[in-house]
A and B are shown apart, each in its own frame.
Chain A
Amino acid sequence: MSSPRPEPPRRPKGHQPQYFDDPAVDQLHAALLASAIELSVAFDRIDTLEQLLIERAGVTRENIDHFAPDEAAKARRAARRADLAERLLKPFRDYRESLLEREAASRDDVNAPDQSSPGARP
Chain B
Amino acid sequence: MSGFIQHDMLPNAAHDEQSRQDFVLALRSHLSGTLMPGAYRVYQERVEPAFKARHGRGPADQEEVRKVMTQDPYYQFWSAMQRRSQEMLWESVIDPTERQLEGLIAKSRKLSAKRLARGRRGSLRTNPDLVVPRYHTAADIHLQPGGYHTDFAADDVAAGAVYDKGINIYMAGALGSENDLMGNTLVAYIREKHPDFKPQRILDMGCAIGNSTLVWGRAFPDAELHGIDVAAPVLRYAHARAQAMGVPVHFSQQNAESTDFETGGFDLVLSHIVLHETSRSALVNVLRECRRLLRPGGLMLHLEIPRGRTVIEKFMHNWESYNNNETFCRFMTDIDLKAEAIKAGFPGSQVRLDAFIPGMSVAQMNYTEHFFWNILAAER
B48 at the interface (CB under 8 A from A): no
- Docked Cα-Cα span, A8 to B99, in Å, equals 12
**Given A10-B91, A41-B23, CB of A119 within 8 Å of CB of B323:** yes
Bound Cα distance from A9 to B140, whole angstroms: 11
**B88 interface residue, CB < 8 Å from A?**
yes
**B180 part of interface (Cβ distance < 8 Å):** no
- Known contacts being A13-B140, A34-B88, A45-B19, is A19 close to B325, with CB within 8 Å? no
Binary interface profile of A, 1-23, with partner B (CB < 8 Å = 1, else 0)? 10101101111111101011000
Main secondary structure on chain A at its contact with chain B? loop
Q: A1-B98, A17-B322, A119-B323 are in contact. Are A30 and B84 (CB under 8 A)?
A: yes
A-B contact pairs, 11 of them (CB 8 A): A1-B98, A5-B152, A8-B152, A12-B139, A14-B325, A15-B139, A37-B23, A37-B24, A37-B88, A44-B16, A118-B321
Shortest distance from the beta carbon of B68 to any chain A beta carbon, whole Å: 10
Chain B binding site: helix, strand, loop or mixed by DSSP? helix
A5 to B84, CA, bound (A): 27
Asked if A29 is an interface residue, CB under 8 A from chain B, the answer is: yes
- Is there an interface contact between B81 and A13, defined as CB atoms closer than 8 Å? no
User: CB distance B76 to A20 under 8 Å?
Assistant: yes
**Known contacts A44-B19, A48-B15: A8-B146 contact under CB 8 Å:** yes
Q: Are A6 and B98 in contact (CB under 8 A)?
A: no
CA distance A1 to B91 in the complex (A): 16
| A33: Cβ under 8 A from any B Cβ | yes
**What 1/0 flags go to B20-36 for Cβ under 8 Å of A?**
10111011000000000
A33 & B84 in contact (Cβ 8 Å cutoff) = yes
B80 CB to nearest A CB, Å: 4
* A41-B98 in contact (CB<8A): no
Any B CB within 8 A of the CB of A101: no
Is B67 a contact of A122 with CB atoms below 8 Å? yes
Contacting pair A19 B94 (CB below 8 A): no
Evaluate contact between A8 and B70: CB separation under 8 angstroms: no
- Asked if B144 is at the interface (CB within 8 A of a chain A CB), the reply is yes
B residues in contact with A50, CB < 8 Å: none
Instruction: Tell me whether A1 and B101 are in contact (CB under 8 A).
Output: yes
Mark each residue of chain B from 317 to 351: 1 if its CB lies under 8 Å from any CB of chain A, else 0: 00001110111011000000000000000000000
Q: How far is the CB of A105 from chain B (nearest CB, A)?
A: 13
Contact in complex: A19, B80 (CB < 8 Å): yes
